[in-house]
Amino acid sequence: MASAAHSKDGATGAPARGSKSTTASGRTVKSSLKRVIRRPEFGAFAGMILVYAFFAVAAKNGFLTLAGTANWMNTASELGVLAVPVGMLMIAGEFDLSVGSVIGASSMIVSIGNGFYGLPMWVAIILALIIGALIGLGNGIITVSTRLPSFIVTLAGLFIVAGAALGFSRLLSGTTAVTLTPEGSARMAFGSQAAGFHVSILWWIAITAVASWILTQSPYGNWIFATGANQNAARAAGVPSDRVKVSLFVATALGAVLVGVLQTIQYSGGDVTYGRDFVFDAPVAAVIGGVLLTGGYGSAIGVFLGSVIFGVVNMGIFYTGWNSDWAQLVLGTLLLLAVLGNNYFRRLALTGG
Amino acid sequence: MVNTSKPVLELKKLSKHFTGVAALSGISFNVSPGEVLCLLGDNGAGKSTLIKILSGVHRPTEGEVLVDGNPVKLRSPREAQDLGIATVHQDIGVISLMSVARNFFLGLEPTKGWGPFKRIDHEKARAIVIDQITAMGIRRVRDGNQLVGVMSGGEKQALAIARAIYFGGRVLILDEPTSALGVKEAEIVLRFIHQARANGIAVILITHNVHHALSVADHYIVLIHGEVAADFRKGEKTREEILDLMAGGERLQSLAAELEAGITSATP
């Protein structure tokens, strides 16, 4: 009983310090192993090792090289920048599908603003951030005030923003893809690379670190978990659940803007279709990373690992020389396994066995 | 001990209408420190509405609530809490997927650091929560990181009560705290209620169990159709009379008579 009690870690990511087992060393190892297994990101970690090992063997040339590593990390980072805030919103119990068209819209705002009208790059980027924040605010306020499922509210948002982006792009620039020449500090912040590793990797790591700190260390993080797990209980305890949700809708929209800016500057041009795949890729990465679809459970590190899996699978398939169509099959299977596995691990955490 | 001090909570002609339907009308009573008020009534009698008003979830249509003799507006659960009105709801309001310490301090997390780097003082939180629940007699939980999901119903209830008292609850509202519990666990909760009363906390207890009501209550209020149907103190009515009132009174007796009549007429 004593060892079991020691092994039950706060699965919401509280640090394990202070619960050291002082009994025989074998027991300590066993109980810390249990503690590790019960963390929300454990499944994603195991999955990542498995997938990486698989492609390390199956992919013939290039996957394990520096260039190959840069490739999967670049892919993972662009998704991860968005998947981490999307995962946080899912922990709070809501979805955001509109991000898929916010990426394209922000890409067009930056490229039309800078490439077509000649606005300074940073002004165009700030404009995109403001419009993104307003879209997030709209999604959030409509969701919390109507109590409608955010799935349907943001699905409408996905269409509205996509349509508006297309319409305004044609109206203003006569086209839906505008080129630009990134330079100066904006290029350094969003477009630089070293040995093939794109700067988006740094954004990805930084965002994950901040999100992880917020979720595990800050009172606001505690409110996110509580809001997603049991909104009525959270409200009764005085947690401003509506504000928590609205702020996270803004965060996902800003994450989408960041992806749009990164892609636009990296590819020297904006396109209204950028980011279409991310509508589902981001929540899939979050779920593979251990986020509970119904909210209240998950971790930023897990979502980070979920996006690593995405990058490894997409690039791994490419390096095997197989048709990239197989990537979806693999990811779909992983998603199913993740849902089953997470369900099992969570039950384990709750029974304490 | 009964009602020697000034009431901590007073209700004056409190009414609540939902789109024309009166859920509560003209409710008046008061509770003093160290007193257990037992709120009785059938489902739909208005108990839940009353609790929701006192815990800041609903606003009353008419009437007022006084704390320490001063009229107050309870616009949110937070405001009710700040005034010392702590409610433990029927679904308890603890979150299974979160740790014991995170649950205990939800919404009122102890922090260290400054400005944007203000973070939860996890060690302090864990130490306090273990102290508090051990004092309530829960010895099975030794680690504040443990998920609440592994606790029993009584332990969860105790955690919620400990939380309410720790955060300065002077009026403790318990909504059916024993309904989902076994006999032993219910006893533990009743002992907490005694303890709370001894510590000068005013308790409003909602229960369907006559034994539990009789064992702790000093004062009884019976609600029927949103109105106070009976208001009496301990010893003023017999056990049978209270049982009658709790069970819906005469109606149930007439039902029994009816059934009996039915059976006799059906038997040749």
Instruction: Report pLDDT for A10.
Output: 38
Residues 219-238 of A with CB under 8 A from B: 219, 222-223, 225-226, 229-230, 232-238
Q: What is the Cα–Cα distance from B18 to B226, expressed in whole angstroms?
A: 12
Do B26 and B118 fall within a single domain? yes
d(CA A117, CA A126): 15
- Residues B184, B262: one domain? no
Q: How confident is the model at residue A61 (pLDDT cuts 50, 70, 90)?
A: confident
**What pLDDT score was predicted for residue A30?**
67
DSSP type of residue B117: G
Instruction: Provide the residue count of chain B.
Output: 268
**Helix A325-351 crosses helix A42-58 at what angle (to 10 degrees)?**
150
Q: Tens digit of pLDDT for each residue in A255-281?
A: 999 999 999 999 988 888 888 889 999
In the 8-state DSSP scheme, what is residue B26? Answer: E
Which pLDDT score is estimated for A2? 36
Please check whether residue A19 touches B, CB under 8 A: yes
Q: What pLDDT band is residue A24 in, cutting at 50, 70 and 90? A: very low
A237 closest CB neighbour out of B107, B123, B146:
B107
Q: Which residue of A has its CA nearest to B102?
A: A222
Lowest-confidence pick of A82-86, A178-182, B238-242: B238-242
**Contacts made by residues A109-114, CB under 8 angstroms, sequence distance 24+:** A109/A260, A109/A270, A110/A180, A110/A260, A110/A261, A110/A264, A110/A265, A110/A270, A111/A177, A111/A178, A111/A179, A111/A180, A111/A264, A111/A269, A111/A270, A112/A169, A112/A172, A112/A173, A112/A178, A112/A270, A114/A180
In Å, how far is A310's CA from the nearest CA of chain B? 27
Whether residues B77 and B205 share a domain: the answer is yes
Q: Residue A205 — pLDDT band, cuts 50, 70, 90?
A: very high
Helix (H) or strand (E) holding A310: helix A300-320
Where does residue A233 rank: exposed (0-12), middle (13-18), buried (19+ CB within 10 A)? Answer: buried
pLDDT for the residue B228? 86
Residues A290-348: pLDDT tens digits?
998 889 999 999 999 999 999 998 888 888 888 877 888 888 888 888 888 877 777 77
Q: B49: distance to nearest CA of chain A, Å?
A: 15
Q: What is the DSSP letter of A68?
A: H
pLDDT mean over A35-48: 81
Comparing CA positions, the residue from A25, A24, A34 lying closest to residue A4 is A34
Tell me the C-alpha distance between A157 and A150, whole Å: 10
Q: Is A2 on the interface with B (CB under 8 A)?
A: yes
B198 and B264 share one domain: no
Distance of CA B268 to the CA centre of its chain: 50
With a cut of 50, say whether residue B112 has pLDDT above it: yes
pLDDT number for residue B219: 92
Burial class from Cβ neighbours inside 10 Å (0-12, 13-18, 19+) for residue A26 reads: exposed
Task: Tell me how many degrees the CA angle B60-B66-B72 measures, rounded to the nearest 5.
Answer: 65
Asked if B106 lies within 8 A of A218 by C-beta distance, the reply is no
Q: Is residue B4 part of a domain?
A: no
Check whether residue B230 and residue B213 sit in a common domain.
Answer: yes
Please, which pLDDT band fits residue B266 given cuts at 50, 70 and 90? low
Contacts of A168 (CB under 8 A, 6+ apart): A108
Query: How does DSSP assign A71-96, residue by residue?
Result: HHHHHHHHHHHHHHHHHHHHHTT---
Domain-located, residue B2:
no
Question: Residue A21 pLDDT more than 60?
Answer: no
Residue B3 is assigned to a structural domain of this protein: no
For chain B, strand residue ranges (E) read 9-18, 21-31, 36-41, 62-67, 70-72, 85-88, 111-112, 119-120, 171-175, 202-206, 219-224, 227-233
- Same domain for B210 and B78: yes
B114 touches chain A (CB under 8 A): no
pLDDT in tens, A125-135: 999 999 999 99
Are B246 and B141 within one domain? Answer: no
Say how far apart CA B120 and CA B105 lie, in whole Å: 10
Question: Percent helix, strand, coil in chain B (nearest 5)?
Answer: 40, 25, 35
Burial of A242 (0-12, 13-18, 19+ CB in 10 A): middle
Chain-wide mean pLDDT for chain A? 86
* pLDDT value at residue A227: 96
d(CA B217, CA B237): 12
| Exposure b/e, B54-89, CB count within 10 A at least 16 = b | bbbbbebeebebebeeeebebebbbebbebbbbbbb
Flag the least confident range among A86-100, A222-236, B199-213.
B199-213
Residues from chain B that touch A217, judged by Cβ atoms under 8 A, are: 119-120, 122
pLDDT averaged over every residue in chain B: 83
Position B86 in a domain: yes
- Based on the domain organization, do B90 and B128 belong to the same domain? yes
Task: State the first-to-last Cα distance of chain A, in angstroms, to the nearest integer.
Answer: 10
Separation CA B27–CA B248 (nearest Å): 19
Residues B183 and B261 in one domain: no
Q: Per-residue confidence at B90, pLDDT binned at 50, 70, 90?
A: confident
In-domain check, residue B81 = yes
Residue A96 has pLDDT above 80, yes or no: yes
Query: Within a domain: residue B129?
Result: yes
Dihedral over Cα of B82, B86, B91, B93: its sign: positive
Looking at the structure, tell me whether residues B199 and B261 fall in a common domain.
no
Q: Over the stretch A175-199, which tens digit does the pLDDT of each residue have?
A: 888 888 888 888 889 988 899 999 9
Rg of chain B over all Cα atoms, to the nearest angstrom:
21
B142, B60: one domain: yes
Q: What range defines the domain where residue B267 resides?
A: 238-268
Residue B140's pLDDT band (cuts 50, 70, 90):
confident
**What pLDDT score was predicted for residue B143?**
86
β-pair type (B202-206, B36-41) = parallel
Domain segments of chain A: what residues?
40-347
Is residue B210 scored above 70 in pLDDT? yes
- State the pLDDT confidence band at B250, using cuts at 50, 70 and 90: low
CATH value at residue B220: 3.40.50.300
**Percent of chain A surpassing pLDDT 90:** 54
Query: Can you give the pLDDT at residue A342?
Result: 77
Same domain, B26 and B104: yes
pLDDT surpasses 60 at A5: no
Own/partner pairs, A279-283, CB within 8 angstroms, 24+ separation: A279/A97, A279/A99, A279/A100, A279/A158, A281/A79, A281/A83, A281/A310, A282/A79, A282/A82, A282/A83, A282/A86, A282/A87, A282/A99, A283/A83, A283/A86, A283/A90, A283/A95
Best of B140, B145, B163, B174 to disrupt the A interface (most A CBs within 10 Å) is: B145
Considering its fold, how many domains does chain B have in total? 2
- The pLDDT confidence band at residue B158, using thresholds 50, 70 and 90, is confident
Query: Is B102 within 8 Å of chain A by CB?
Result: yes
pLDDT at position B4, please? Answer: 55
Q: What is the CATH number of domain A40-347?
A: 1.10.3470
Q: Which of B98, B105, B123 sits opposite A229 (nearest CB)?
A: B98
